[in-house]
Every structure is written in structure tokens, then in C-alpha cells.
Amino acid sequence: MHGLTPLRISVALATVAAVMGTGVAFAGSSSDTARPTQASAPAAADTTALTQRFIVGYKSQAEEARSNAAIVKDAKAKGERAGERLSFERRLGTGAALVDLPDADRPEDTQEAMAAFRSDPDVAYVVPDHRVFPTAVDPAEYRYQWDLYESQAGMNVPSAWKQATGKGVTVAVIDTGITKHTELGSRLVPGYDFISNSWTATDGGGRDSDPSDTGDWANRGECGKDRNGNPVPARDTDNSWHGTHVAGTIAATANGYGTVGVAHEANIQPIRVLGKCGGSTSDIIDAITWASGGTVSGAPANKNPAAVINMSLGGGFTCDQAYNTAIKAAVDRGTSVVVAAGNDNADASAYSPAGCGNVIAVAASDREGNRAAYSNYGRTVDVTAPGGETAVRADDGIWSTINKGTRSLGSEGYASYQGTSMATPHIAGLAALLKQTSPSLTPAQIETAIKNNTRSLPGSCSGGCGAGLADAARTLTAVTGN
């Protein structure tokens, strides 16, 4: 029986308390991720809410359509007629005028001022200057999520949200389990704890229906020695909350609170297989079987079989028949299996499950679009996704949900991690988007769609990074034709 550990991660940025979003702009986006919104205009003037600015379109024959000075004069005159102070703010790209009503403090003030313009035969239209928000997300922590929106090395996810959000699709996260988090509570469906060893589980028992992450901290040498005789871990470690971080990248909800996941309306099914000192392939094989709708002795039937499995874990051994059999059976049931390539800057074919058949193996890229220095590579890698690299700047990692407790459960928060563990949930989320738009897609078709619609890495990749850097919008468009 092989022992597995979660792929190494770097907590390079201290967690922060969650910040409530109140119309926070998408700072730092090079692709204008504040997408066009579906705002409803008032049906008539008498329903107009208070606004201190409105937009006036003049008919082409009007002097105001050509002269800003004429607009200044017209605004002043109409303000005097309405008993309000009106001023010309600027001309918009359409030629319309933005008019300011700085002293308005009642909706009636707005109505009266707009009515003065509507009564003018030279005015084509008058509409409020509405305050609008993105229809999907406005999270306070989104500015850190370069991996979703930056044009150079991001995955072009916001444009994909015009077509899908993952709604109704279940993604199983086979990992350390889950902790309570505002971003994730509404996204959860019942999971399972498959850790059979009570010491590893750290929750006082073996397998049960509670996949809560109770922590995986360990003291130096507590997990034995590696193949070179070095103590594992090499130094004392705190809780990673690895599964919570992975789950947030997939499906953190678009609630305006913090971050947002690639498939932010997908369901997360937390399945716990990793605890103190990792986990075992036997437990993981059962988890794969159960997640995909198969039968596992002693475990209840899974009422929510997953369309996608995310496994951000691995071990330094070649894939064996036991692993291959479980994965193939899951894929035959219609479940896509997305796995991490590994973090040893080595050929992924020597690692499992990265070297197994029927998986989508994911390498990691940095913020510049290079293969991340730690990422595994090679012919078994299928695709690359943002995994971050925090050696130079903590902001260059992948920002997602965690718990802030070091050796016990604490409050919820966020942190920047790096790893192919972080790249993998990007692809699992993309698979969920595809499954929502086209439920009949098979795992093979999903893999082909993702690989056929990548773009070249803007940086360098030695050793092989699969088909290239995944592009969510391009992939969705290719499948849907929209």
C-alpha cells in the first residue's frame, strides 16, 4: 500500500480577514472583467429613482448635437425652469450629453429635471445614469485572482461566465476534506470521510459521513523518513486546509464577499482521504469509486454522483493496475477525473495518479505564463493551468479560501498557495462549465475540448506542458458555438 501526501504548497501570504464587498471594482484586470450587466431601466419618468446624473441624447438637427457650449446654455436654462441647478458634465462617445444634478436629494428632483428635457422637441431621449454591477460577481478579494482574468497568463474565465457558471454540476474534491466557509456553504452536497486510519484522520474515528477537515499538522519526522532517509516532514508544519483551498478555486460562490470560483454555481462534494501524514491509495480508490456513483462496502450510496473528480494529490510511484482500474471505472460511469501533475520538477509519468490512463493531468504555470519551476512535465501532461509561483511575490500565487487555524480550527480566511494542486481545480472547474452547457459530453470529449482550445504559453516550457495553457472562454465557445 502506497502512502500519499497532498502536493506541496507554499503559504506565502498571510491570510486576511474577509472583507465585505460593497460595489468594489475589479482592480487590476487587464481584460475589463466587469462584464456588461443586465440593468433594467425605469419604465417611465414617475418611477425614476434618485440619481444625480442623467444622459441626454439630442436629435441630429439640434445645435446641442454639435456644440458643447450649446449644451451648457441649454442645461442652465432647463435647470432654471425646473428650479434645479444643472450642469453639463461631458459628452459621451455616442455624442450624448452627461448632465449633472448635484443638489438633488429627492426622486422628484430627478423627475422634474428630466421632464424639462423630455419636453424639448430637440431631445431624442433622457435616461438616468444608472449604477450597474457585474451580473455574476463583485467579490472583495477578486483583485488577487489574476489566474482568472489577466490577459497574459490568466485562463480567460470571466468571458466564459457569459455562457456557463457550472450550475447543477457536482465536482468531487478528493482531498483533506472541507472547513466551514462563507464562500462554500451554499455550494456543498453531502460527501464522505474515507480515511480508515483513526490516527491519520485526527477526528477520533475512521470512516464516516462527516468530511470535515480536522487538520493535518505534523511535527518534524512524525511521518517517517523519505527514500533518502530524511525525516518527513523536514520541519514542523501547520494545518494546510488544502481541500478548502482547492474547493474555493473550483466553486467559491459569487456572493460579493471574497473570492469567486471558476464554476461558482457548481456543487462541491467534499471527500476526505488525506489527513495527518497524507493518506493511502486504498482509501483514495474507494473515494474515486464512491464519488463516481460506484458501490463501496460500508458506505451509503452516493445520491449525488460527481460529473467531475478533482485530485490535487500524488505519490512518487508509477500508476498501478489498482489505480488504473478505479479511474477507468469512474470514467466509464461518465465522470471526468482531473489530477495534478506533481511538484518535483520531474517527469510526471513516474507519479500517480498523474501517470495513470483516462485522467486529465494538469501542469502549473506562473503569472508570466512559464511552466512553474516546481511543476512536473512530460508526455503524460495533458494541459497547463495557473498554479502560481510565490518565490518572488506572494501576490503571484493562487488566492483562495482556507481556515486560519494553525494547529486547531480557527476562523475562515484566504491565502496565496502555489502548486499543481492549485492548477488542477482550474481545469476541474472548466470541466464543470462544459458539463453544464452540454450535459451529454463524455469525459473523453471534455478532455478533447479543453486540449483543442488552449493557447500557447506566453512564457517558456521545458519538458512538455501538454496542449498548452487552458482558455475557458475559447473552450466554451468551441463547444457551444456561441
Task: Report the pLDDT value the prediction gives residue 417, as an integer from 0 to 100.
Answer: 94
Which of 131-140, 274-283, 464-473 has the lowest average pLDDT? 131-140
Asked if 286 is an active-site residue, the reply is no
Closest CA to 308 of 434, 401, 193, 423: 434
* Confidence at residue 225, expressed as pLDDT on a 0 to 100 scale: 83
pLDDT, average across residues 264-283? 94
Write the Ramachandran bin of 466: left for phi over 0, alpha for psi from -120 to 50, otherwise beta. Answer: left
How does residue 92 score in pLDDT terms, banded at 50, 70 and 90?
confident
Written in H, E and C, the secondary structure of the chain is: CCEEEECCCCCCEEEECCCCCCCCCCCCCCCCCCCCCCCCCCCCHHHCCCCCEEEEEECCCCHHHCCHHHHHHHHHHHHHHHCCCCEEEEECCCCCEEEECCCCCCHHHHHHHHHHHHCCCCEEEEEECCCCCCCCCCCCCHHHCHHHHCCCCCCCHHHHCCCCCCCCCEEEEEECCECCCCCCHHHECCCEECCCCHHHHCCCCCCECCCECCCCCECCCCCCECCCCCECCCCCECCCCHHHHHHHHHHCCCCCCCCCCCCCCCEEEEEECCECCEEEHHHHHHHHHHHCCCCCCCCCCCCCCCCEEEECEEECCCCCHHHHHHHHHHHHCCCEEEEECCCCCCEHHHCECCCCCCCEEEEEECCCCCECCCCCECCCCCEEEECCCCCCCHHHCEEEEEECCCCCCCCEEEEEECCHHHHHHHHHHHHHHHHHHCCCCCHHHHHHHHHHCCECCCCCCCCCCCCCECCHHHHHHHHHCC
Give the whole-angstrom CA distance, residue 104 versus residue 196.
67
What mean pLDDT comes out for the span 409-421? 95
Cell of 358: 483516462
Q: Please indicate whether residue 426 is annotated as part of the active site.
A: no
pLDDT (average), residues 393-417: 95
pLDDT band at 102 (very low <50, low <70, confident <90, very high): confident
Q: Span 202-216, mean pLDDT? A: 95
Q: Residue 421 catalytic?
A: yes
pLDDT of residue 368: 97
Which pLDDT does position 289 carry in this prediction?
Answer: 96
Which of 242, 245, 264, 426 is an active site residue? 242
Residue that wins the pLDDT comparison between 19 and 226:
226
Reported as a pLDDT band with limits 50, 70 and 90, residue 89 is: confident
Q: Give the pLDDT score at 42.
A: 28
Higher-pLDDT residue of 47 and 18 is 47
Q: Tell me the longest C-alpha to C-alpha distance in the chain.
A: 89
Q: CA torsion, points 312, 316, 320, 322, in degrees to nearest 10? A: -50
The band of 136, judged by pLDDT with boundaries at 50, 70 and 90, is very low
pLDDT band of 130, cuts 50, 70, 90: low
Residue 2: C-alpha distances to residues 6, 26, 183, 201, 390 (Å)? 13, 45, 34, 17, 30
Q: Given a cut of 80, is residue 133 above it in pLDDT?
A: no
Closest C-alpha to 312, from 243, 373, 368, 395:
243
The pLDDT assigned to 215 comes to 96
What are the tens digits of pLDDT across the range 318-341?
A: 999 999 999 999 999 999 999 999
As a whole number, the mean pLDDT across the chain is 86
What is the rounded CA–CA span in Å between residue 4 and residue 41?
Answer: 56
pLDDT value at residue 473:
98
Asked if 277 contacts 5 with a C-beta cutoff of 8 angstroms, the reply is yes
Which of 74, 109, 175, 193 is catalytic? The answer is 175
pLDDT band for position 50 (cuts 50, 70, 90): low
For the segment 61-90, the average pLDDT, to the nearest whole number, is 90
Query: Lowest mean pLDDT: which of 98-102, 440-444, 445-449?
Result: 98-102
The pLDDT score that the predictor gives to residue 40 is 29
Question: Cα–Cα distance between 34 and 174 in angstroms, integer?
Answer: 33
The more confidently predicted of residues 107 and 400 is 400
In this model, does residue 137 exceed pLDDT 50? no
pLDDT value of position 311: 95
Q: Which residue has the higher pLDDT, 457 or 111?
A: 457
Least confident of 220-234, 395-409, 414-428: 220-234
Which of 75-79, 89-93, 274-278 shows the lowest mean pLDDT across its residues? Answer: 89-93
pLDDT of residue 18: 23
Q: With contact defined as beta carbons under 8 Å apart, do 4 and 340 qualify? A: no
Buried-exposed string 312-323: b where 16+ CB fall within 10 A, e elsewhere: bbbbeeebeeeb
**How confident is residue 392, by pLDDT bands cut at 50, 70 and 90?**
confident
In this prediction, residues 274-287 reach a mean pLDDT of: 92
Does residue 453 surpass a pLDDT of 50? yes
pLDDT in tens, 38-49: 222 223 333 345
Q: Which of 312, 366, 421, 426 is catalytic?
A: 421
Distance CA 206, CA 76 (A): 77
Query: What is the pLDDT, as a whole number, of residue 171?
Result: 98
Structure confidence at residue 374 (pLDDT): 95
